[in-house]
Amino acid sequence: MTTDADQDLQSAKLRVEELRAQISYHDYRYHVLDDPEVGDDEYDELMQELRALEETYSQLIVPDSPTQRVGAEPVAAFGIVEHTVPLLSLGNAFNEEELRAWHKRAAGLAETESFAMVCEPKIDGLAVALEYREGSFAVGSTRGDGRRGENITQNLRTITSIPQRVSGAGLPGRFEVRGEVFMTKAGFERMNEQRADNSEPLFANPRNSAAGAVRQLDPRVTAERPLDCFIYALGWSQDGSAPASHHQTMKWLGELGFQVNPDAKRYGDIGKVWEHCQSWIERRDALDYEIDGVVVKVDDLSLHERLGAAGREPRWAIAFKFPPTQRTTKLLDIRVNVGRTGSINPYAVLEPVNIAGVTVTNATLHNEDDIKRKGVRIGDTVIVQRAGDVIPQVVGPVISKRTGKEKAFRPKRVCPSCKTKLVREEGEAMRYCPNGACPAQALGLLTHFVSRGAMDIDGVGEQLAASMLSAELVKDVADLYFLTEEQLLTLERLAEKSARNVLSAIAESRSRPLDRLLFGLGIRHVGSETAALLAERFGDIDAIAAADAETLADVPGIGPIVAESVHEYFARKQTKQLIEKLRKGGVRLEAERTAPVDGPLTGQTFVISGTLAAFSRPEAEARIKSLGGSTSSSVTKSTDFLIAGESPGSKLAKAEKYGIAILSDDEFMALLAKHGAG
Ligand code: IVH
């Protein structure tokens, strides 16, 4: 049961997240783009609201909330380090013109058109300076204000990629290297998974957690955080004869034992540099750490001296910054579409806006409550964000841009497709169209049924599904199995060959595993995982249909809401008819019966964590089962073995805690080989 208090907390949580996203957007406008969009008053209002919520719901406070931010002022607790040579910052270029302008200026001052440049990923972490004395790591500090930073030596010692000792040819007696401390994406995920397991607050992103970790007062806490470091410059050296170019310096530092970035590239031509910068926009997601741009540096170090700095920005380097993943645009309209289960999904129609290389015209708004909470109105200027492959989202309105002509969204009362009166159940944020024969639902359902993760019927896409429905060749998914070639040929733009391909794809789908069929039916709350649990537990569709809600809820992994939804679905008259039709159409309605095997692993339970070198997880599980063993997805006290592949995550820690035997990838392979299943 969810209580009112739960719901309040839930909506406070959503609001807090929204406020943080908005504040970080305005910080970015202000600090990075130097182009604030809102005045101080409005910014302060957002902060006030966030503070108030965090005061009421202290469990929502996270260390990286903007309210918890500590200034770049060095904190006396750490001791202060005066930087021998100041740590500079970097000028920014946001487009080709600005990059070329930087190059032209440097070329003019250097009195040469042709000089080599090195491009390096701009790591989104925090700058550190590391001083070595006689080959030994002596003092590590933050950038601070560039002249004075904090002494965080003890914390930096816990980072394994920062060598405690270095050695090699030409080692100066004293020198300082500079670099960026960061957290890998995988390390960040793992850390948050563990924090979730321990009910500790989660961090918002790798950068903030890295920054928080190095400024911990207790180095033991830092040591537990998965930190890493790339060195990107020699700060100064006392007596050494440093190399003449940046790329040679990096090579030398690498030989001394420092971790330098393997993705650095050298070019002689600014056009090539620009292409390189562009290429990272696509490739950045493939890196295991976050980058926010590309640093372009003049390679020849004697030119660095000649070029010097303008204020705190060197003229010999520039940061190309990736286009922001948040932009503002006009909210033209709020429309709704009808999902396959009848859910009414509002979405934003936007004035087209280019966000990080992709033109965005629509964004999701989830549900009515979401619209209310965000307070967006039609006609508003809104902040829109996109990340990776996810559907763009509306973060919220820019209140200062209001003209007074904006209109509130009026929730729809009837289905836009079939005009049936919509229903909204207690405690549900969504409205539903209750009409089982609603055409929009039928299309959504049919498209879902034929999709990859479900029955995987190749050649039937949304368009063909729509024309089959409008020609009334099919009324429900079971009708697919009675289609004839003649019928298909009556459809426009479907040639004989494609018709035959479609029919053979449909025929092939008759033998899909039961869980794929269950998922394909589009039962509310039944995703592919729940479908697999049901198929495995009940073995055939009639047993599922016959089960009452209580029996369904007894299945581990299936809660009361899902159980109720499944029960309700199978109790319907239409469902019963549909299943009979599927049966007549020759569709498989039972799981593949694999008689329990009696073998050398009978009675042993295995859990796989991380990726295995030789097998996918299902393949590995099939092999274990073929030897009589059973598998589970979570570690409990009765687990017998944990198989730890690469990046095993929190399950490994749990297994260690319970003292469960751990098999490496190799040991697992040896075990299979021993029993002839390798
Ligand atoms: S060189 C004088 N190289 O970016 C310039 N900086 O916005 C010295 N950063 O404070 C910096 N990756 O923390 C350089 N490959 C890289 C970098 C990098 C990240 C950071 C650095 C600096 C900030 C400037």
User: Assign residue 612 a region: left if phi > 0, alpha if psi is -120 to 50, beta otherwise?
Assistant: beta
Ligand 1 pocket: which of 34, 92, 102, 122 to mutate (most atoms <8 Å of CB)? 122
Q: Which residues have CB under 8 Å from 462's CB, separation 6+?
A: 443, 447
- pLDDT of 35 reads 67
Secondary structure class of 380 (helix, strand, coil): coil
Residue nearest to atom 3 of ligand 1 (CA): 232
Is the Cβ–Cβ distance between 230 and 162 less than 8 Å?
A: no
Q: Give 16-63 as a DSSP string.
A: HHHHHHHHHHHHIIIIISS--SS-HHHHHHHHHHHHHHHHH-GGG--T
pLDDT confidence bin for 30, thresholds 50/70/90: low
Which atom, in ligand 1's list, is nearest to the CA of 261? 15
Share of the chain above pLDDT 90, in %: 52
Backbone angles phi, psi at 135, to 5 degrees: 80, 0
Q: Spell out the domain ranges in the chain.
A: 4-54, 81-321, 326-408, 439-584, 605-674
Residue nearest to atom 12 of ligand 1 (CA): 122
Q: Is the pLDDT of residue 565 over 60?
A: yes
Q: How many residues does the chain have?
A: 678
Per-residue pLDDT reduced to its tens digit, 496-531: 899 999 999 999 999 999 999 999 999 988 988 889
Would the CB of 88 count as within 6 Å of ligand 1?
yes
Tokens of 410: 């009026």
Q: Which residue has the tokens 């989660």?
A: 202
Q: Which residue has the tokens 């979401």?
A: 370
Lowest mean pLDDT among 276-285, 290-299, 352-361, 483-492: 352-361
Is the Cβ–Cβ distance between 407 and 334 less than 8 Å?
A: no
Domains 326-408 and 605-674 share a fold: no
Q: Is the pLDDT of residue 52 over 70?
A: yes
Q: Which residues have CB under 8 Å from 512's CB, separation 6+?
A: 455, 456, 588
Q: Is the pLDDT of residue 28 over 70?
A: no
Angle at 126 between CA 120 and CA 132, to 5 degrees: 85
pLDDT confidence bin for 68, thresholds 50/70/90: low
- pLDDT of 34 reads 54
* Domain 439-584, architecture per CATH: Orthogonal Bundle (1.10)
Query: Residue range 582-589: average pLDDT?
Result: 96
- pLDDT of 259 reads 93
Which atom, in ligand 1's list, is nearest to the CA of 124? 19
Share of the chain above pLDDT 70, in %: 95
The total of other beta-carbon atoms located within 10 Å of residue 372's CB is 14
Which atom, in ligand 1's list, is nearest to the CA of 122? 12
Q: Which of 202, 225, 224, 197 lies closest to 655, judged by CA? A: 197
Q: Is the pLDDT of residue 70 over 70?
A: no
The total of other beta-carbon atoms located within 10 Å of residue 239's CB is 9
Q: Which residue has the tokens 């040819």?
A: 169
pLDDT confidence bin for 220, thresholds 50/70/90: confident
Active site residues: 122
Query: Residue range 140-152: average pLDDT?
Result: 91
Per-residue pLDDT reduced to its tens digit, 304-363: 999 998 888 999 999 999 877 788 999 999 999 998 888 899 999 999 998 877 889 999
Query: Residue range 412-420: average pLDDT?
Result: 93
pLDDT confidence bin for 482, thresholds 50/70/90: very high
Q: How far is ligand 1, taken at its centre, from the CA of residue 387, in Å?
A: 24
Which atom, in ligand 1's list, is nearest to the CA of 233? 1
Lowest mean pLDDT among 50-54, 91-95, 126-130, 646-650: 646-650
Is the Cβ–Cβ distance between 33 and 323 less than 8 Å?
A: no
C-alpha 317: how far from its chain's center?
Answer: 31
pLDDT confidence bin for 151, thresholds 50/70/90: very high
Give dist(CA 105, CA 98) in Å, integer.
Answer: 11
pLDDT confidence bin for 21, thresholds 50/70/90: confident
- pLDDT of 63 reads 66
pLDDT confidence bin for 2, thresholds 50/70/90: low
The answer to whether the Cα torsion of 363, 368, 371, 374 is positive or negative is negative
> Higher pLDDT residue, 654 or 618?
654
Q: Is the pLDDT of residue 639 over 90?
A: no
One-letter amino acid of 24: S
- pLDDT of 167 reads 87
* Domain 81-321, architecture per CATH: 2-Layer Sandwich (3.30)
Backbone angles phi, psi at 547, to 5 degrees: -75, 140
Q: How far is ligand 1, taken at its centre, from the CA of residue 142, in Å?
A: 13
Q: 326-408, superfamily in CATH?
A: Nucleic acid-binding proteins (2.40.50.140)
Q: Which residue has the tokens 């919520």?
A: 53
pLDDT confidence bin for 662, thresholds 50/70/90: very high
Query: Residue range 630-653: average pLDDT?
Result: 84
Q: How far is ligand 1, taken at its centre, from the CA of residue 614, in Å?
A: 40
**Which runs of E-coded beta strand occur in 507-629?**
605-609
Is the Cβ–Cβ distance between 383 and 323 less than 8 Å?
A: no
pLDDT confidence bin for 596, thresholds 50/70/90: low
Enumerate the H helices of 427-548 as residue ranges.
Answer: 439-450, 462-470, 485-489, 496-509, 514-520, 528-538, 541-546
Would the CB of 319 count as within 6 Å of ligand 1?
yes
pLDDT confidence bin for 23, thresholds 50/70/90: confident
Q: Is the pLDDT of residue 452 over 60?
A: yes
Q: How far is ligand 1, taken at its centre, from the CA of residue 69, in Å?
A: 21
Is the Cβ–Cβ distance between 158 and 140 less than 8 Å?
A: no
Name the CATH topology of 4-54: Helix Hairpins (1.10.287)
Give dist(CA 363, CA 397) in Å, integer.
Answer: 13
Give dist(CA 316, CA 329) in Å, integer.
Answer: 36
Would the CB of 89 count as within 6 Å of ligand 1?
yes
Give dist(CA 153, CA 585) in Å, integer.
Answer: 72
Would the CB of 290 count as within 6 Å of ligand 1?
no
Ligand 1 pocket: which of 232, 290, 297 to mutate (most atoms <8 Å of CB)? 232
Q: 605-674, superfamily in CATH?
A: BRCT domain (3.40.50.10190)
